[in-house]
Amino acid sequence: MDVLVTVPLPEKLLSRIERHHTVTLHNEDSPISRGALETLIQGKAGLLCTITDKVDGELLQRADQLRVVANYGVGYDNIDVEACTAKGILVTNTPGVLTEATADLTMALILAVARRLLEGDQMVRQGRFKAWTPFGFLGREVSGKTLGIIGLGRIGRAVAKRANAFSMKVIYYSRTRLPGDQEHALQVDYTDLEGLLKESDFVSIHVPLTDGTRHMIGREEFSLMKRTAYLINTSRGAVVDEEALAEALKSGRIAGAGLDVYEHEPKVHEALLEMKNTVLLPHIGSATVETRTRMGELAVENLLAGLDNKRPPTCLNWDAVKAKVA
Ligand code: DGY
């Protein structure tokens, strides 16, 4: 079958696909253009794509032969899963393999904003470090503080474990509450969103982007947070109203933010770029050699299984597609 791959996969993985199928490869470490995607998708049975490729109704209209969309990423807000299901197209993602890397980066952001790491680095590089002083460069302690986790899925839980090791108190808000024994094992306490925002010193977001979570954190939510609190986001930018965030940071409504994702990525709100109390990263939550290797392997396994009409290891709509076909 003909397959389109928009990720420059390592040779070993590519040849796994090529053993069974004919691959058209976008061999660049940059997103494929929309025009190229629309042209190349025609006649393809499989698509292995990244989170920057929009698989929407319009693209699907051109995808006359498509049977499997294997996303190289856990978040799949780039894909209209419902429209795929309606056309009998399987959709897969890569959960699990990027949990630890993303949780590590979340902790890195917590530490970076609280201890002003990037400001300090710049000060040294610019030759402004003249002497150790008792009140120079004071940050905030992380140990003993309250971390509020919004969304206690795989990544949220991995962050909770790390926060426990830093002697933080961990509270969480999630659509579904964990059973008591699991809360106990993870040392987390459940609260509603309002309670979490009021109580937390660090608020960290770990929900997927859906119609229900878009702008979940906006003006009203910032008004509930402590003035000394920090917002951390390694999930999806649009969960936060970026305009409201810029206002909250500018006015001192909150103390700072550590961001890996942006509402209009790769564009970043102008005001955020000028603020000292923000740490801004270029969406690198899963960017380790180990994790990206595992993401590639899982995406390829998903693609091959789907094309072979077998249940892919991490399929989002297997039952729905099979029910439709039956
Ligand atoms: C994902 O997988 O959704 C991350 O945001 C990128 O790896």
Sign of CA dihedral 84, 302, 93, 50: negative
Active site residue 184: no
Tell whether 149 and 269 lie within a shared domain.
Answer: yes
Q: Average pLDDT of 304-310?
A: 98
Tell whether 168 and 313 lie within a shared domain.
Answer: no
* Residue 239 CB less than 6 A away from ligand 1: no
Tell whether 128 and 220 lie within a shared domain.
Answer: yes
Span from the CA of 75 to the centroid of ligand 1 (angstroms): 5
Tell whether 142 and 33 lie within a shared domain.
Answer: no
Active site residue 26: no
Span from the CA of 287 to the centroid of ligand 1 (angstroms): 9
Active site residue 242: no
Tell whether 256 and 298 lie within a shared domain.
Answer: no
Cβ(173)–Cβ(146) under 8 Å?
Answer: no
Tell whether 276 and 241 lie within a shared domain.
Answer: yes
Q: Which long-range contacts (CB under 8 A, 24 or more apart) does 64-67 make?
A: 65/2, 66/41, 67/1, 67/306, 67/307
pLDDT band at residue 293 under the 50/70/90 scheme: very high
Catalytically annotated residue among 18, 265, 297, 311: 265
* Residue 75 CB less than 6 A away from ligand 1: yes
Span from the CA of 326 to the centroid of ligand 1 (angstroms): 33
Tell whether 9 and 157 lie within a shared domain.
Answer: no
For 154-168, the pLDDT digits (tens) are: 999 999 999 999 999
Which residue range(s) make up the domain with 223?
99-280
What is the domain-level CATH number for residue 196? Answer: 3.40.50.720
Tell whether 131 and 246 lie within a shared domain.
Answer: yes
Return the DSSP state at 87: T
Tell whether 106 and 235 lie within a shared domain.
Answer: yes
Tell whether 78 and 130 lie within a shared domain.
Answer: no
Catalytically annotated residue among 115, 214, 283, 311: 283
Tell whether 29 and 174 lie within a shared domain.
Answer: no
What number does the ligand 1 atom closest to the CA of 287 have?
Answer: 7
Tell whether 152 and 241 lie within a shared domain.
Answer: yes
pLDDT surpassing 80 at residue 279: yes
For 199-240, the pLDDT digits (tens) are: 999 999 999 999 999 999 999 999 999 999 999 999 999 999
Q: Measure the CA–CA gap between 142 and 123, rounded to whole angstroms.
A: 22
Domain count, the chain: 2
